């Protein structure tokens, strides 16, 4: 049995889908952002503000390396920028089956327009920022993915169902 890994842009539903999927598949859920926050004793926003994005990216890579040595029976929800590093994509591929929850920029914008926890989307023109980042990242997400699930207009349970059906035993 291998890990089930959820990747995709901020707000695509990785954490929420991960929780439902963990009940459904009876596996524990690990969330890379939450684990980094726990280990560092501060929020992702504080890490970005105090140490910069690059330090956070290094923490993500180090965490993936460590996870490779842990039991591979989990659901792993990842931070939205994690698959951008090529090394991380290789590590993800070794960790398990990778599902890309793909969403349109407008869907992401609607979900995150009142959110204050994503440092990369703060300030002017969040929709413009989402579109630009997504253009830059889509190729990386696709390259990392074993399965792509288009989540626009889908109910949470439908997304969970699709993934559950596609998980290799």
- Binding region for ligand S3P (CB under 6 A): 10, 14, 33, 44, 79-81, 118-120
Structure tokens at 156: 């949470």
Give min distance, CB of 77 to ligand S3P, in A.
7
Structure tokens at 154: 């889908």
Closest CA to 96 of 124, 64, 128: 64
Comparing CB distances to ligand S3P, the nearer of 83 and 96 is 83
Comparing CB distances to ligand S3P, the nearer of 135 and 168 is 135
Give min distance, CB of 15 to ligand S3P, in A.
6
Comparing CB distances to ligand S3P, the nearer of 1 and 57 is 57
Give min distance, CB of 76 to ligand S3P, in A.
12
83 within 8 A of 60, measured Cβ to Cβ: no
Comparing CB distances to ligand S3P, the nearer of 14 and 102 is 14
**What CA–CA distance (Å, rounded) separates 109 from 129?**
10
Give min distance, CB of 16 to ligand S3P, in A.
10
Counting every residue written for the chain, the total comes to 169
159 within 8 A of 101, measured Cβ to Cβ: yes
């Amino acid at each position: 049995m291998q890990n089930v890994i959820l990747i995709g842009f901020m707000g695509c539903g990785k954490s929420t889908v991960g929780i439902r999927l963990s009940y459904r598949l009876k596996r524990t859920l690990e969330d890379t952002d939450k684990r980094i926050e726990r280990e560092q004793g501060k929020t992702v926003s504080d890490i970005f503000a105090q140490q910069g994005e690059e330090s956070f990216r290094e923490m993500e890579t180090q965490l993936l390396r460590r996870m490779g040595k842990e039991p591979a029976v989990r659901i792993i929800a990842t931070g939205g920028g994690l698959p951008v590093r090529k090394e991380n994509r290789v590590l993800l591929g070794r960790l398990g089956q990778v599902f890309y929850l793909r969403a349109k920029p407008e869907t992401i914008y609607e979900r995150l327009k009142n959110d204050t926890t994503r440092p990369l989307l703060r300030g002017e023109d969040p929709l413009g920022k989402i579109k630009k980042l997504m253009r830059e990242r889509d190729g990386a997400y696709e390259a990392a993915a074993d399965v792509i699930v288009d989540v626009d207009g889908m109910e949470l349970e439908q997304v969970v169902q699709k993934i559950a059906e596609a998980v290799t035993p």
